[in-house]
Amino acid sequence: MENRLWMALRRDTAIQFLKGVGPKLGDLFSRKGLKTIQDLLEFYPRSYEDRRAARQISSLRAGDVVSLKAQVVTVHSVPMGRSSRKMVDVVVQDPTGRIHCKFFRVPYRGYFERFTPFKEVRVVGKVLEYRGRLEFHHPDLRDIEPDEEVQDDLVPLYTEIEGLASSKIHKLVKLAFAQLKPADWGDEVFPEWLRKTYDVIPRWDALKRIHHPESDKAREYLDMKSAAHRRLIFEEFFWLELYLAARRTGFKKEQGPLIDPPGEGAKRLRASLPFQLTAAQERAFEDIRRDLASGSPMHRLVQGDVGSGKTLVCFLAAVTAAESGYQSTLMAPTEILAEQHFKNARKFLEPLGLRLALLTGSTRAAERKALLAELAAGNIDLLIGTHALIEDEVKFARLGLVIVDEQHRFGVEQRGELKNKGVSPHFLVMTATPIPRTLAMTVYGDLDVSVIDELPPGRSPIQTRVIFDSKKAQALDFMMQQLAKGRQAYIVYPLVEESEKIDLKDAVSEFEALKARFPAVRFDLLHGKMKPAEKDAVMERFRAGETQVLVSTTVIEVGVDVPNANIMLIEHAERFGLSQLHQLRGRVGRGEFKSFCIMILGYAVSEEARQRTEFMERTTDGFKIAEFDLELRGPGEFLGTRQSGLAGFKMANLVRDLAILQEAREAAFEVLHHDPQLKHRDHQALRNELIHTHGPTAVP
């Protein structure tokens, strides 16, 4: 019976039936999301080890990626600062010398217990120079295996699964291939014309080669540029782009609200402003106005730097919609930002006769009931709010325009629920997180993109300095000088309250310490754990100038607008992403006064953290910062993997593989241009895969 199961292996066979696995190991794989033979074969090597280039310690140079055999000398842990965190230092030696292997986090529980003195180990990693000494940081460190002497080859390396060694995973993969035939895998989904045009090999070949690398092409494999890598990267991008292109094609077929009035409201709004719109704002609004009048629903992303005037462009769109008798809604990720938008809307739009309302989780029951009745009756032109907008009882009479702010903070489902409250309404999303234009057009394939790439005149540049904690007293003295001139300040911390696990300063403790140190200064505290009414009161005091210094967490990252605040201190700046730092810095420089941002680095800062913060000193251009951030950390955080489809990538990398991404986008649009509904015989496999992944509505 066991032999029959072994011989009848298919890609959907449960992994436990692979010879050498069994129920216990099968359960371990399953807990890591590997349930079938297909899952195992799509558990790609994360890198490769060229054992033909094995080295000795005395010959190592900084920057080398090497494999060497060595013997453990000592294993000891070193405390890191005031926290309970520790760095583990494993010293190894060979006949030519010694080298330190440092680990700043534990790969998994019990990882270091097997590395006892005199143990023979293999070390694979990149040689670094740190404080004048060569060492490894987080190398692959594992036992020497009995058959290693004959493995003088290019060896795939897999991420270990709770102690299951890379070599064991490789043996299981080889067993699976020995029992599978191409026919067991299923038909090739890419038609031949597509493979030839875009130079991609068949999928079965790619799978075999990715796990059985060709040693004469070691450099290609190590750089993730082999033919196998190209095929698998291309297909990951292709499925995302085909889905987005299909959505876009579907949108164009819908009938959207026709919003094409003479534009008197927009003219009146422009005339009421104490300044002129920038050329970039005018271009973005012209894009929007053209979409509104097209007869198809708009799906547009407006991206612009902090303070570039995106909201005003959206207000122009809402005025235009109101003139045609349509309602608009604007959803923001936080109550503070929703209230900020509502305040600005009252300032700019109420004088034009627009009827406005604000709906958040804090709206009282009686007020909420009356508001919803007015909304359903069509007596509200623009409803601004938070997630509360997507609740079932929120019903519009004639919703024509949906605006979503900081769209990367919402998932597809939340945006979709809001859009479904109208009949194919126009959809406008905006973000202050700049994304390189090429990348935005590629990743947001279902959205047209408008970029507001200039700031309004009169915005003063922000001077940025990076200092270490040892110079914090001087930074506080400088802050006091600005307060004496009548200005206000922010001090931002990464934590709300003190943590035993992380050695970082926190807002609550530091707030008390600052009050004690500067008794004459009026401090206030703001963080995410406070009740909405408390937050509102704190912000209102700061806006009114009653508070001189606002001690806060990143709750002020987006939307807070206090023109008199001209100095920002960010504690533990190394803990924040570049886009976060840029957003925080954008809270100052909003008035006529020269503004300053001081980024304070904490204890034991990595070289990468120093590079990131020093880059912030050199530029205030959000697009340059976004490109640098993308190169350093990849796209996940600032593009929002929840809504972009990026979370599912097993091999593709948006920075490294941008050229392949653009080819995959071109291929997807080429397929749908010639066969919009994927009805052609050559495209049936593409259609089936798209429906299998995204449901029957994915095909237009």
Q: Are 619 and 462 in contact (CB under 8 A)?
A: no
Rg, C-alpha atoms of the chain: 29
Q: In whole angstroms, give the CA distance from residue 404 to residue 372.
A: 20
Phi, psi (rounded to 5 degrees) for 211? -95, -15
Mean pLDDT to the nearest integer, 119-137: 87
Cβ pair 39, 212 in contact under 8 A: no
Least confident range of 3-7, 29-33, 418-422: 3-7
Vertex 563 angle, CA 557 and 567, to 5°: 65
DSSP state, 41? Answer: H
CB 263 within 8 A of CB 403: no
Phi, psi (rounded to 5 degrees) for 625: -65, -40
pLDDT (mean) for 328-343: 87
Q: What is the topology classification, in CATH, of domain 47-157?
A: OB fold (Dihydrolipoamide Acetyltransferase, E2P) (2.40.50)
Architecture of the domain made up of 1-46+166-183 = Orthogonal Bundle (1.10)
Q: What is the pLDDT of residue 154?
A: 82
Helix/strand/coil for 566: strand
CA distance 594 to 685: 60
Cα separation, 567 vs 600, in Å, equals 13
Among 141, 85, 132, 133, which Cα is nearest to 112's?
141
Q: 358: which strand partners?
A: 384
Write down the residue that tokens 């060492």 correspond to. 135
Indicate whether 463 pLDDT > 70. Answer: yes
Nearest to 78 by CA among 35, 123, 125, 112: 112
Whole-angstrom distance, CA of residue 31 vs CA of residue 27: 6
Q: Which of 497-506, 533-542, 579-588 has the lowest mean pLDDT?
A: 497-506
Give the type of residue at 115: F
pLDDT at residue 3, rounded to an integer: 45
Token readout for 310 is 């995106």
Report the alpha-carbon distance of residue 112 to residue 90 in Å, rounded. Answer: 9
pLDDT of residue 443: 65
pTM reported for the whole predicted model? 0.64
| The pLDDT of residue 520 is above 80 | yes
Would you list the domain boundaries of the chain? 1-46+166-183, 47-157, 203-253+679-698, 264-452, 462-619
Q: How far apart are CA 69 and CA 55, in angstroms?
A: 8
Domain covering 264-452: architecture: 3-Layer(aba) Sandwich (3.40)
Angstrom distance (rounded) from CA 680 to CA 700: 14
Amino acid at 353: G
Confidence tier at 642 by pLDDT (50, 70, 90): very low
Q: How far is CA 50 from CA 130, 216, 530, in A?
A: 25, 11, 55
Angle between helices 607-618 and 578-585 in degrees, nearest 10: 40
From CA 410, how far away is CA 643, in angstroms rounded? 7
Neighbours of 617 (CB within 10 A): 13
Round the average pLDDT of the chain to a whole number and report it: 84
Describe the strand order of the beta sheet including 299-304 as a list of residue ranges: 356-359, 382-385, 327-331, 399-405, 426-431, 299-304, 448-452
3-state helix, strand, coil in the chain (%, to 5): 45, 20, 35
* Phi then psi dihedrals of residue 74, to 5 deg: -145, 155
* pLDDT grade for 559, boundaries at 50, 70 and 90: low
Residue count (the chain): 700
**Each residue of 356-377: pLDDT tens digit?**
999 998 889 999 999 999 999 9
C-alpha–C-alpha distance, residues 432 and 306, integer Å: 5
| Residue 646: pLDDT over 80 | no
The answer to whether 354 touches 579, Cβ cutoff 8 Å, is no
Q: Looking at residue 582, what DSSP letter applies?
A: H
Query: In b/e form, how buried is each residue of 432-471, taking b as 16+ CB within 10 angstroms?
Result: bbbbbeebbbbbbbbbbbbbbbebbeebeebebebbeeee
Instruction: Give the model's pLDDT for residue 83.
Output: 54
pLDDT of 186 strictly over 80? no
Of the listed ranges 200-214, 509-523, 678-692, the least confidently predicted one is 678-692
Task: Give the whole-angstrom CA distance, residue 39 versus residue 312.
Answer: 49
pLDDT at 652 over 80: yes
- Per residue in 433-459, pLDDT (tens digit) is 767 666 666 666 667 888 888 877 766
- What lies within 8 Å, CB to CB, of 396 at 6+ separation is 327, 329, 375, 376, 383, 421, 422
List, in order, residues 6 or more apart from 14 with CB less than 8 Å away. Answer: 26, 35, 36
Specify the pLDDT at position 481. Answer: 96
CATH architecture of 462-619: 3-Layer(aba) Sandwich (3.40)
pLDDT average, residue stretch 575-593: 84
Sign of CA dihedral 170, 176, 178, 182: negative
Mean pLDDT of 202-215: 92
Q: At what angle do helices 622-633 and 607-618 cross, to 10 degrees?
A: 170
Mean pLDDT over 117-142 rounds to 87
Contacts (Cβ under 8 Å, ≥6 apart) of 253: 296, 700
664 close to 234: Cβ distance less than 8 angstroms: yes
Q: According to the model, what pLDDT value does residue 145 have?
A: 67
**Identical fold, 1-46+166-183 and 47-157:** no
Q: How many CB atoms lie within 10 A of CB 530?
A: 15
